[in-house]
Structure 1
Amino acid sequence: MKYNDWFVSTFEKNKNFKKNRIFLFPYAGGGVSSFKNWQDKFENTELICAQYPGRESKISEEPLNNLDKLISTLYDYITPLINEDIPYYFFGHSFGTKVVYELVLKIQKNNLKMPSGIVLSAGKAPCYKEENPIYHLDNVKFLQQLKRFSSIPEELISNMDIMNLFIRMIKADFEMDEKYLKKDIIPINCPIIAFMGSDDKEIRLQELLKWKHYTSKSFNYKIIKGSHMFINTNKDKVVNNIKKFIQGVEDAK
């Protein structure tokens, strides 16, 4: 079900009771399909995924490479959804952690209802900039470097006919991700849990732990077995830790 052009719900229409909502913000190049079958693992929790231009149902639209514009648009579309009388949470993976943080800052600045908690997965704290950017490389070199993230199957990356359909969109996401840097630490008024893959070569533990300075509430972290895309290879563990986090927040009320 599409709430609007930017947010897609996977909640079954015949389920009437929603205890809370989780808004999902994908990694660079990802979309709604990045969270395929996640809804099946949650009871009475509606999952709503952000869908950016240039992919899946919005493939005919021009990709965005300006993070401020992306955040501003997401804010406009999400405002009516978060103002409903349902507790909500944010989950972001990799590039999605930057989107989550900036969006929560905007929500907080405008005195809207804050998330009950946010889950930041495989993302460095905002004060760390990407040390090995790839968005500026030519298409061949870019695709070669893309393999290190393991977010796209090898057979697809090697198929230029297919990749030519998506490479502008993926590069646009990587440009927003890799240019991002915010030196000022502005805490948000909601609890944070941060996830990291045990074998993730794209982030250091101290870059993850720095997130504790970005909240005025509680902070916790979990190391989950896997590399940068552990949300795909160890999905059940990720989901279980999200559920535990939400339950802990609910119990603390």
Structure 2
Amino acid sequence: MPIAGRPPRWFLREPLPDARARVFLLPYSGCGASMYRHWPSEYQGVNFVPVQLPGRENRLREQPFETYQELGRVLSEVLEPHLDGPYALFGHCSAALAAYETAVQAVGRGARPPQRLFVSSEVAPQDGPYGRHLQMDDEELAEELRGLIVQLGGNPLPTFVGMTLGVLRRDIEVNRRYHLTDPPKLPCPITAIGWSGDVGMEPERMTGWAACGEMDQVVFDGGHYGFIEGPEKLLRLLADGVTADRPSTGPAGGRSEEAC
């Protein structure tokens, strides 16, 4: 939890006050908000807001959350002052589950529900835990981190990799404990985003999200890290979705393909 006397930095960049709509971007396991450093602050009048969670980057000394439910409860309260217009939540990999729980908790406490939930490369809550990272030892995880850091344009210094490994391992344990037999159904539509080259998280594994709300699916060309650069096809999907009342990618429960 936040250190006493120090206001928490939930956003690396503050939400724009006059945005047409907002999309809150949650970081996935082992990462902080800087993983969205290549994303623009605004696209088509929609404000993209990376969320910084405790226990990582500039909040490294703070206690991380131990469950997605706990994270969702706190984050739904933190976001509420910024829910004065249409908004959506986006999460890739394990962050999709954190985004889902945030939406569930927001609805449960009577806050404005999201216009849409975007989940990328993750199975639905009732189909997990699932993912290749769950079975990796520390050396394999460290190798994954080195590759991700390079992908983000950073230098995988051993001290930094070692520090981040602890964050990743804690996040993986949170994921391992998360399973909902009967997940709450959201009042907002869900767009499941798959990536054609994502080894181990094939798009067809994501169909279970239909149990969590009205769902459509889109599949983009690219691998597991295809979202990191903020490709225009993804920005457009999110911007269109948060400003539309109905899925813009196809009929509910349907599937569409879009190449680079």
TM-score (norm 1): 0.81
With 99-108 and 153-162 compared, the bigger mean Cα shift is at 153-162
Structure 1 pair 239/132, CA: closer, same or farther in 2 (3 Å)? closer
**Cα deviation digits, residues 77-132 of structure 1 (max 9, x gap):** 223322xx311111111111101111111122222211111111111111112345
Shift in Å, 1:136: 7.7
Q: Secondary structure at the match of 2:244?
A: helix
Q: Secondary structure at the match of 1:86?
A: coil
1: distance between equivalents of 2:118 and 2:93?
11
Q: Which residue of 1 aligns with 2:109?
A: 110
2: distance between equivalents of 1:118 and 1:76?
17
Q: Secondary structure at the match of 1:186?
A: coil
Shift in Å, 1:190: 0.4
Uncovered stretches (5+) of structure 2, i.e. residues with no partner: 1-6, 249-260
1: distance between equivalents of 2:86 and 2:34?
24
1: distance between equivalents of 2:26 and 2:192?
14
Q: Secondary structure at the match of 1:119?
A: strand
**Cα deviation digits, residues 207-249 of structure 1 (max 9, x gap):** 212212211x4x2111111111110257222112212323433
**Partners of 1:143 and 1:157 within 8 A in 2:** no
Q: Which residue of 2 aligns with 1:8?
A: 11
Q: Which residue of 2 aligns with 1:153?
A: 150
Structure 1 pair 227/139, CA: closer, same or farther in 2 (3 Å)? same
Structure 2 residue corresponding to 1:248, chosen from 244, 247, 258: 244
**Cα deviation digits, residues 42-79 of structure 1 (max 9, x gap):** 13222222211222221232333333332232133223
Q: How does 1:59-208 map to 2 (within 5 A)?
A: 59-82=60-83, 85-131=84-130, 134=133, 139-144=138-143, 146=144, 150-153=147-150, 159-208=157-206
Moved over 6 A (4+): 154-158
Shift in Å, 1:141: 4.2
2: distance between equivalents of 1:67 and 1:36?
24
The residue type paired with residue 42 of structure 1 is Y
Structure 1 pair 119/150, CA: closer, same or farther in 2 (3 Å)? farther
Structure 1 pair 138/180, CA: closer, same or farther in 2 (3 Å)? same
1: distance between equivalents of 2:79 and 2:107?
14
**Partners of 1:10 and 1:47 within 8 A in 2:** no
Structure 1 pair 40/69, CA: closer, same or farther in 2 (3 Å)? closer
Uncovered stretches (5+) of structure 1, i.e. residues with no partner: none
Structure 1 pair 246/63, CA: closer, same or farther in 2 (3 Å)? closer
Structure 1 pair 55/185, CA: closer, same or farther in 2 (3 Å)? closer
**Identical pairs, percent:** 20
**Cα deviation digits, residues 135-163 of structure 1 (max 9, x gap):** 6865334324x36x953338979743221
> How many residues were matched structurally?
241
**Partners of 2:189 and 2:246 within 8 A in 1:** no
2: distance between equivalents of 1:96 and 1:69?
14
Q: Which residue of 2 aligns with 1:25?
A: 26
Q: CA RMSD in A?
A: 3.0
TM-score (norm 2): 0.79
**Partners of 2:15 and 2:49 within 8 A in 1:** no
2: distance between equivalents of 1:212 and 1:120?
12
The residue type paired with residue 43 of structure 2 is F
1: distance between equivalents of 2:21 and 2:86?
5
**Partners of 2:55 and 2:62 within 8 A in 1:** yes
**Partners of 1:119 and 1:192 within 8 A in 2:** yes
Structure 1 pair 195/251, CA: closer, same or farther in 2 (3 Å)? closer
Shift in Å, 1:194: 1.1
